[in-house]
Amino acid sequence: MSPRKRDPKIRERILDVVSRLFDGYGVHAVGMQQIIDEVGCGKAMLYREFATKDDLVVAYLERYTRTFARVRELAAEQWPDDPAGQLIMIVSWTAEQVMTPGYRGCPVHNTHAEFPNEDHPAHALSVAYYDRIHGELMDLARQAGAADPRGLADRLMLIIDGLSVSGAARGREGAAPAGVAFAEEVIRRALPVKSAAQPEALATR
């Protein structure tokens, strides 16, 4: 008898619950039995979809990291000819996320902290995600005309990471709005004088 095929709807239902639990309590604090109880499924069903907890953690991270791809698409649609505007939108999106009630920090950052072993797939996936974001920021910085695209990307990464930490600790009382303004200032200073005066996203704020 052949094994039953995986069910995408069940997988998403499991991942919805897993995301809430992992985001709220951390990966190591949540056991498989707790997930089974919260989902309301049998053990066989859970393990059919995810053979191990590591598989579940990787799927959780992969689903979250797809969010950034959607943000990049939205930024490109809103500011198609303005890479500086796209950079600002990425930082602004981060600020909005960290001010969401119940925000507990970036799931990728939190999971990376829980898995220091470089050989663990969750660790590798977390590092790859941050490398990808940095690469995207550097590419946009280059398109915007920054004299030092890597330097601008480094600074924006620090702002994004700082927003995540501040948001987890202080929420709406934190420095999120100031972080966006700081990013705008950093972008202005990084671009040539002629370019710095032109980005539509900066001029219309």
pLDDT of residue 91: 95
State the pLDDT at residue 1: 36
Q: In this structure, are residues 104 and 116 in contact, taking their beta carbons and an 8 Å threshold? A: no
The residue type found at 21 is L
Q: Which one has a higher pLDDT value, 4 or 160?
A: 160
The answer, yes or no, to whether residue 198 has pLDDT greater than 50, is no
Q: How far is CA 161 from the centre of its chain?
A: 10
Angle at 164 between CA 198 and CA 104, to 5 degrees: 145
Backbone angles phi, psi at 30, to 5 degrees: -105, 125
The secondary element (H helix, E strand) that includes residue 182 is helix 176-190
* Residue where the block lists tokens 């704020």: 205
Residue 196 predicted with pLDDT over 50: no
**How many whole angstroms separate alpha carbon 121 and alpha carbon 129?**
12
| Dist. CA 37–CA 60, nearest whole Å | 18
Q: What is the pLDDT of residue 2?
A: 40
Does position 194 have pLDDT exceeding 90, yes or no? no
> Alpha helix locations (H) across 40-175?
43-49, 53-78, 83-98, 107-114, 121-144, 149-170
**Lowest-confidence segment of 1-5, 132-136, 174-178 by average pLDDT:** 1-5
Report the C-alpha gap between 7 and 16 in whole angstroms.
14
Q: Is the pLDDT of residue 25 over 60?
A: yes
CA 106: distance to chain centroid?
6
Give the pLDDT score at 32: 94
Q: Could you tell me the pLDDT band of residue 5, with boundaries at 50, 70 and 90?
A: low
pLDDT digits (tens, 9 = 90+) for 98-129: 888 888 889 999 999 999 999 999 999 999 99
- Residue 185: its pLDDT value, please? 95
pLDDT digits over 148-190, tens only? 999 999 999 999 999 988 887 787 777 788 899 999 999 999 9
